[in-house]
Amino acid sequence: MSATFLGMPGNFPKNASQAVQNSQLRYNLRKATHTIRGKRAGVVAELPDWQELRAAGKAIKDHTLRNLDRYLVMMEEAVTSAGGTVHWARDAAEANRIVAGLVQATGEREVVKVKSMATQEIGLNEALAEQGIAAYETDLAELIVQLGDDFPSHILVPAIHRNRSEIREIFLDKMPEVPENLTDDPPALTEAARLHLRERFLRSKVAISGANFMVAETGTLVVLESEGNGRMCLTLPETLISVVGIEKLLPSWRDLEVFLQLLPRSSTGERMNPYTSMWTGAVEGQDFHLVLLDNGRTDVLADEVGRQALRCIRCSACLNVCPVYERVGGHAYGSVYPGPIGAILTPQLRGMSSELDASLPFASSLCGACYDVCPVAIDIPEVLVDLRSKAPHPAAERAGMKVAGWILNDHVRLAKAQRAATRLRGLLPKRLPGPASAWTDTRDLPEIPDESFRDWWERGGPDERA
C-alpha cells in the first residue's frame, strides 16, 4: 500500500504495506472473514425485524450513555448489596494496581482469565507479571496467542491469522503434555487444549474476567461465550475479579433481551451463543470484585460525534466486512481494537499524539460496509471523517487547504482560478512533486479542460452546442 492520502500519518500505511506481502495471512483472513460474514448474513436475514432490533439497540445504548452517572451508581449499589465490592479505576494504571492488590491479598501467584478486551486494553497480564503473578488465558484462541508470544488480531477470533498447522506447531512447542503425533485436526487440537486447561481450572483460586453487559437494576454481569471455558473460570475459583468498561451498562433485564439477539447473530453468526453466564454479587463460597474502568471513556462521551463508538458491543461484524482489515489483518492497527471499530475507538481512547494513532482514522476506504452491518448502528465513516479533521496534518497540507478554502468560498475567486488553470494547463506536471508524489503514484492528475463549465455556460451552454 502506498501513502494514498496526502498528509496521512505514517505508521498504519507502513504496517499495512508489510502485512499485505504475507500471502498466507491474506489467505487465512479471507477464508475466516468470509465464512463468518456468510453465517452472519444468513441468520440476520431470518429476522424480519432486524432493523427494528438494531434501532432498539442503538436507542438503549444512547439512553444509557446519556444517563451513565445514574446507572453507574445504581450498579454499584446493587453489586454492593449483593455482597460484591466495587472499585473505580480512572485509568489503566489504577485498574492494574487494584487488580494486582486484590490478587496479592489472596496470597496466590497465578490467575486464570476469561477472554476480555478490557484487560488487554489496560495491559493487565503484563502488569501482573511485573508483580510476579502469572495470568493464564483460557479462551482457546487467546491461549494460542499467548502460547505463541503473539498479539490478538481480531476481536472475536484473536488467532484468526493462524491456520491449524501453525497452531499444531505452537502446541507441540509450548505444551509439554501433548503427544508428538498430534495432528492438525481441529478435534485433536481442541482436546490437547482441553487437557492443558483442565488442570489450570482445577488448580486456580483466582479468576479474572470482563463482561459483555452489566445490568444496572440488579447488579448482574453477563458473559457470552462459545467454549464453556469462561464458565469454568467464573464458577470454580474462590475469588472472581471482573474488569469492565463503564460503557457496558444496560439499565434493565428487558434491555438485555435486545442484545442477546443482536450480539450472537452479529458475532459468531449464531441464533444464540452456546454459553451465557450471569452472576450477581458474591455467590456462595466466592469473593467478588468489580473494577469499573474509565480509561478515556468519559472523554469519548464528551465528544458529540465520537461518543457513538461507546455503543459498540464488540461483535466484530465490522471487521469481517472491511476490505482494509481483510487484506492487512489486525496487527497493522497496533491496538487491541483492530478494524473499523479500532480505527475510531483507539484514537479516541489513546489520543492522536503518536504517529500510529493519528494514522488510524485514515485506515479506511469509507465504503460504509461497517455501518451497514453494525448491530447498534454506529456510523463509523462519520466518526472517521470527523477524526481525520482533528488529526495532525503537515503544515504544507494545512496551508494548501486554507488556500483552497479561500478560493472555493468565493465564486469570483473560483472563476479567476479556473481561467488561470486553463491558461497554464500545458505547464502543469503529470505527477506532483515531493511528498505529494504519493498521491500520483497510484492515480493520474485530472486533466484540466480547455474551457471551464462556467465559461462554456456564459457563452450559451447547451444552446451553443445545438
Minimum separation from the CB atom of position 140 to ligand SF4 (A):
20
Using CB under 6 A as the binding rule, whether residue 317 contacts ligand SF4 is answered as yes
Alpha-helical regions (H) of 268-354: 297-301, 317-321, 323-328, 339-350
Among 376, 383, 384, 387, binds ligand SF4 (CB under 6 A): 376
User: Judged by CB, which is closer to ligand SF4: 206, or 369?
Assistant: 369
Stretch that binds ligand SF4, among 12-20, 158-166, 299-307, 313-321 (CB under 6 A): 313-321
Among 128, 221, 318, 356, binds ligand SF4 (CB under 6 A): 318
| DSSP assigned state of 454 | H
d(CA 371, CA 157): 20
User: Judged by CB, which is closer to ligand SF4: 160, or 207?
Assistant: 160
Using CB under 6 A as the binding rule, whether residue 160 contacts ligand SF4 is answered as no
Using CB under 6 A as the binding rule, whether residue 226 contacts ligand SF4 is answered as no
User: Judged by CB, which is closer to ligand SF4: 368, or 394?
Assistant: 368
User: Judged by CB, which is closer to ligand SF4: 372, or 441?
Assistant: 372
Using CB under 6 A as the binding rule, whether residue 316 contacts ligand SF4 is answered as yes
User: Judged by CB, which is closer to ligand SF4: 60, or 373?
Assistant: 373
User: Judged by CB, which is closer to ligand SF4: 122, or 343?
Assistant: 343
Using CB under 6 A as the binding rule, whether residue 143 contacts ligand SF4 is answered as no
Minimum separation from the CB atom of position 324 to ligand SF4 (A):
14
* Angle, in degrees to the nearest 10, between helices 395-408 and 411-423: 110
Restricting to residues 355-374, name those near ligand SF4 by CB under 6 A: 373-374
d(CA 387, CA 18): 25
User: Judged by CB, which is closer to ligand SF4: 19, or 317?
Assistant: 317
Stretch that binds ligand SF4, among 40-48, 144-152, 311-319, 355-363 (CB under 6 A): 311-319
Using CB under 6 A as the binding rule, whether residue 383 contacts ligand SF4 is answered as no
User: Judged by CB, which is closer to ligand SF4: 35, or 81?
Assistant: 35
3-state secondary structure 239-251: EEEEEEEHHHEEC
Residue type, 191: E
Q: How far is CA 113 from the centre of its chain?
A: 20
Q: How far is CA 461 from the centre of its chain?
A: 52
Taking CA atoms, 251 is separated from 83, 182, 262, in Å, by 20, 48, 17
* Residue bearing cell 489503566: 92
Restricting to residues 65-124, name those near ligand SF4 by CB under 6 A: none
Minimum separation from the CB atom of position 210 to ligand SF4 (A):
15
d(CA 89, CA 99): 10
Among 40, 161, 314, 331, binds ligand SF4 (CB under 6 A): 314
Q: How far is CA 383 from the centre of its chain?
A: 14
User: Judged by CB, which is closer to ligand SF4: 53, or 313?
Assistant: 313
Stretch that binds ligand SF4, among 222-230, 247-255, 307-315, 390-398 (CB under 6 A): 307-315
Dihedral, CA atoms, 41, 47, 51, 54, nearest 10 degrees? -80
User: Judged by CB, which is closer to ligand SF4: 206, or 363?
Assistant: 363
Using CB under 6 A as the binding rule, whether residue 341 contacts ligand SF4 is answered as yes
Restricting to residues 234-273, name those near ligand SF4 by CB under 6 A: 266
- For the stretch 55-59, contacts whose Cβ atoms lie closer than 8 Å and that sit 24 or more positions apart, written own/partner, are 55/377, 56/258, 57/258, 57/259, 57/262, 57/311, 57/313, 57/375, 57/376, 57/377, 58/311, 58/376, 58/377
Give the count of residues interacting with ligand SF4 (CB under 6 A): 14
d(CA 38, CA 32): 10
Burial class (CB in 10 A: 0-12, 13-18, 19+), 448: middle
- Footprint of ligand SF4 on this chain (CB under 6 A)? 266, 312-318, 341, 373-376, 378
